[in-house]
A and B are shown apart, each in its own frame.
Chain A
Amino acid sequence: EDKVVQSPLSLVVHEGDTVTLNCSYEVTNFRSLLWYKQEKKAPTFLFMLTSSGIEKKSGRLSSILDKKELSSILNITATQTGDSAIYLCAVEGRGDYKLSFGAGTTVTVRA
């Protein structure tokens, strides 16, 4: 069975800080790893990573995959209160139609 472990489970930072979220996985025939942000309601898509070592960036958020270490990190620089959310990591195996999610990391950014 696929397994996704995120750390830390939660953290509290102040505006302007940088945060690094971790995701490690075990999946049969890895295809992709995805990051989602969840505020009040539905998770919204952030990044999809398929190749090792290639950083994906969107504004202050960036993510990179390490297939050798079976892990990924999500970085948020210059955090703002609007970054407060649960960040979810998910993996998909080849030939598989489903994602397996980690428990999520709850980020709280204080003004």
Chain B
Amino acid sequence: NAGVTQTPKFQVLKTGQSMTLQCAQDMNHNSMYWYRQDPGMGLRLIYYSASEGTTDKGEVPNGYNVSRLNKREFSLRLESAAPSQTSVYFCATTGQINSPLHFGNGTRLTVT
């Protein structure tokens, strides 16, 4: 039972390049989230999907887009990467409101 799987684990991009971070869960959870984590700033919500077919902006959505492909998969796209997007990105899921989040192991992204 894999839980929440993120790919890739590491990525280096040049400014202006694009890429998609993938997240897949086998927990049959409805809600999925993308967070970024920067030193001294905790986890900040980028986008979330409360259920299949819906997506909403979080605290820091600028420069990102998301797709909830189906119940299992929620991808995060950077269309034109910037050095300010250098961060560790976490995908998380939960089965219902008031339940703990389950996190993937993160993607460490560096934009040069």
Interface residues of A (CB under 8 A from B): 1, 4, 6, 9, 31-32, 34, 41-45, 48, 50, 88, 90, 92, 95-104
Contact = CB atoms under 8 A, between A and B. Distances in A.
Interface of B: 4, 31, 33, 35, 40-45, 48, 50, 56, 58-59, 90, 97-98, 100-106
A102 B97 contact: no
Contacts of B97: 31, 92, 95-97
Contacts, number: 57
A97 B48 CA distance: 8
A92 B58 contact: no
12 contacts: A4-B42, A9-B40, A34-B100, A42-B4, A45-B100, A45-B102, A48-B100, A92-B98, A95-B97, A97-B97, A98-B58, A99-B45
